[in-house]
Amino acid sequence: MVLSLNVILFLVLHLLPRMKSSMVNLKNNGYDGIVIAINPSVPEDEKLIQNIKEMVTEASVYLFHATKRRVYFRTVNILIPMTWKSKSEYLMPKQESYDQADVIVASPYLKHGDDPYTLQYGQCGEKGQYIHFTPNFLLSNNLPIYGSRGRVFVHEWAHLRWGVFDEYNVDRPFYISSKNTVEATRCSTHITGKNVVFQCQGGSCITKSCRRDSQTGLYEAKCIFIPERSQTARESIMFMQSLDSVTEFCTAETHNTEAPNLQNKMCNRKSTWDVIMASDDFQTASPMTGRNLPSHPTFSLLRSKQQVVCLVLDKSGSMGSEDRLVRMNQAAEIYLIQIIEKGSLVGMVTFESFATIQNNLIQITDENAYQNITANLPQIANGGTSICSGLKAGFQVIAQSGQSISGSEIVLLTDGEDDKIGSCFAEVKQSGAIIHTIALGPSAAKELEALPNMTGGHRFFAHKDINGLIDAFSRLSSRSGNITQQAIQLESKAFNITGRKWIIGTVPVDSTVGNDTFFVVTWTIQKPEILLQDPKGKKYKTSDFREDNLNIRSARLQIPGIAETGTWTYSLHNNHANSQMLTVTVTTRARSPITLPVTVTSHMSQNTAHYPSPMVVYARVSQGFVPILGINVTAIIESEDGHQVTLELRDNGAGADIVKNDGIYSRYFTHYRGNGRYSLKVHAQAKKSMARSSLRRQNKALYIPGYIDNGKIILNPPRPEVKDDTAEAEVGDLSRLTSGGSFTVSGAPPPGNNTHMFPPSKITDLEAKFKEDYIQLSWTAPGNVLDEGKAKSYIIRISKYLLDHQEDFDNATLVNTSSLIPKESGSIENFEFKQELSKIENGTTFYIAIRAINEVNLISDISNIAQATKLIPPQEPNVPALGTKISGIHLAILGLAVILSIF
């Protein structure tokens, strides 16, 4: 197949790797296309829009100076929800949507504060998902706590756009420096303040100096760092942007490489400025000349519109093989009846070598509406494949119904090759439509993914997995942000059942869902006998399942009202003498408009990979914005030849996972089987006793407890009281299934010809402590290949000097590890040794690092550097009170906030 130069250019521009379809573009030093979206549940408030504008305007100037005149914010789109009244100044959105926004404005699910944060779980330098501001943060005076909103926005923008991390650490607020002094975890060390403990008796409190713990050498648990309000240090924005003097990021000259913060852990102790300068943005953004400031940002107010979708379905001759036409119709029917939200406008086009409009836009309001569409699903497959004809007819359907093509969605499903697909790329780009593609089988046009890449749509691939099409359609929910109205897939299973045999399965319906619940059964030869029983014993039989007159071998049951919470049991009997494939799909919605359902989203770290680059599988489990922990999350990845790889994802803060217990479950993927498309599906399950919610947050603006002003401590208002970091998530047994879309691999060897290319993953959680004269180490075991399998051996080295590990690990003293046998990846390793380097005295500090070796002698990167200090400090006298009396109530809350701060 020969491609024109224009097609090749489109592929180069639109098949680049990325995780999320942000519309932000940097041109001539200015950021354009930033989307700030307001959640539909936020009450209408003009002040909110005004404060957003003021925040971004201030942030633009602060960002311009912080980046040394390199970048600023030029154009910003504020997306107004449909729940707000229509106004003449509100424009129609194009491809902007809530689910692809750079910044979202939404209330926190639990009342645990209004800390601004960025959802960021990629590696160093990788973009984050979104910034979250609460309405209360944007409407209240938070100046003493976080600094100005513009400064906070720049702090979070650095997380989102450049993939840098915070330079504080709530869990480890202090560390022992190489000079054997206890320092607050910060950057830069030029920021001054006092380390104090508040002691209260009766109705007043005094401050005392912090005592050092004889076991750790660090300050006691209640010690906190209070900064001076007046500072001379100009860095760093990623530590404490609230200080007036702070206007820069830490550079290589000012960076604190010793601080135990996430920036040092994730970025190998590089400064935030070094990481920022290495980003794509700064490869072409040179400092602007002159002394003038850039112009203020321009804002556009866009109001969300109802969902407009046109299905563009392939009915070419190749769709007649492998039951593809029937599978497509089964999936399309589920989408129309169970997935798409009520009130949406839907049309349908079928295509072969030419296109046929089957339905102009119909509003989905009742059963008659979707039956008018499903009745026209294609029954015969014939002809060639003209994808552009289908797309143009889809545009025609939308336009003829008086709707704007821009911002409307097209779901394109095809299994065929088409060497003319590039001829309509320019028209697609200009249309402003959002195109989701579903590639069915190994022969679908290789250029298909250019369409969602250029329009911000989703991409899917289905082949041997008989439920792959259903899973893809089930993922295509509304982009409005109203998750209580979106369909949720609880189950999707396929069974190859021998003749005359039964199969029994269960599906849990948890307490956050149950409205609009459907059970769907499909078959390949003959309708099976179906028995379904709810948790209270009520039974449904085959006659209760409705079979449409479409000859698509599918039957469905809609549970009346709200489905019972608990375990549902289904039994399927293959009435035919021969084996046949039977599938069960269960979808539902939130239990009520005020009940946020537990949801799962998943994706790969990139849309494209070139071997031997590893990829990371991510799955996020949450209820609203609250992470859900203790879930068994499994990823199934299928290659074009139908081979499936199953990975158990982890939330343990090791390997591919950045932060432990943040509700982001991760794992490396390295099982490449040749080039082409791969699909991702994720299944999340939990028993009632396992699931729990988490209130911890990382990558956020630091909540400042107070300042020292002329020697006097001035406290900020206390944070809301939080009894515990985690709480039981009262959802019962839980099951979720979601498609993570597809990705494309190039440069990979054919199946069975893979060589060992990947070392063990870097150890990032090494810890060390003294026990008498012995040093005890603990860490999470890496694998033989990144985080899979088990390593062959470890190299542990020890030094009295920190720089030995950063500059030359091999020159440090080797520890005897002959007795240390590596465990399976994800296990906790413990090792104890007596150092022979020097005599241990009071105040002696050692630095330890570790590397893992696999079976072909590939070696991991050097771990984080752990330190162990032998210190028995003398009792320090109390220092005079600093002239501050604090009410017992305030201090009690303050102390609790310090201990339980969410990281």
* 735 contacts 585 by C-beta, under 8 angstroms: no
Q: Could you tell me which residues come within 8 angstroms of residue 392 by beta carbon, excluding any fewer than 6 positions away?
A: 355, 424, 427
State phi, psi for 148 to the nearest 5 degrees: -65, 155
Asked if 863 and 762 touch (Cβ cutoff 8 Å), the reply is: yes
Helix/strand/coil (H, E, C) string of 44-107? CCHHHHHHHHHHHHHHHHHHHHHCCCCCEECEEEEEECCCCCCCCCCECCCCCCHHHCCEEECC
CA dihedral 741, 747, 750, 751 (to 10 degrees): -40
Contacts of 889 (CB under 8 A, 6+ apart): none
Active site residue 807: no
Cα–Cα distance, 204 to 891 (Å, whole number)? 9
Token pair in block for residue 605 = 């770290």
What contacts 280, CB < 8 A, 6 or more positions away?
A: none
User: CA gyration radius for the chain?
Assistant: 29
Task: For residues 865 and 767, give the distance between their C-alpha atoms in angstroms, rounded to a whole number.
Answer: 8
Are residues 584 and 505 in contact, defined by beta-carbon separation less than 8 angstroms? yes
Query: What is the C-alpha to C-alpha distance for residues 59 and 54, in angstroms, rounded to an integer?
Result: 8
Classify residue 247 by burial, with Cβ atoms within 10 Å: 0-12, 13-18, 19+: middle
Residues whose CB is less than 8 angstroms from the CB of residue 874 and which lie 6 or more positions away in sequence, other chains included: none
> Helix, strand or coil for residue 298?
strand
Q: Of residues 46, 58, 89, 156, which has the active-site annotation?
A: 156
Contacts from 720-724 at CB under 8 Å and sequence distance 24+?
720/111, 720/112, 720/113, 721/893, 721/896, 721/897, 722/112, 722/113, 722/695, 722/896, 722/897, 722/900, 722/902, 724/695, 724/900
Can you read off the two tokens belonging to residue 491?
Answer: 């189950």
Between CA 58 and CA 451 the distance in angstroms is 37
Polymer length in residues for the chain:
903
Beta strands in 760-865 (DSSP E): 767-771, 774-780, 793-799, 813-814, 828-834, 844-853
Say if residues 724 and 736 touch (Cβ distance below 8 Å).
no
Q: Do 372 and 337 touch, CB atoms closer than 8 A?
A: no
In this structure, what is the dihedral angle of CA atoms 361, 366, 372, 377, given to the nearest 10 degrees? 90
Instruction: Find all residues with CB under 8 Å of 481, minimum gap 6, and list them.
Output: 37, 39, 40, 81, 98, 99, 104, 106
* Amino acid at position 343, single letter: G
Q: How far apart are the first and last CA of the chain?
A: 53
Residues recognised as catalytic: 156
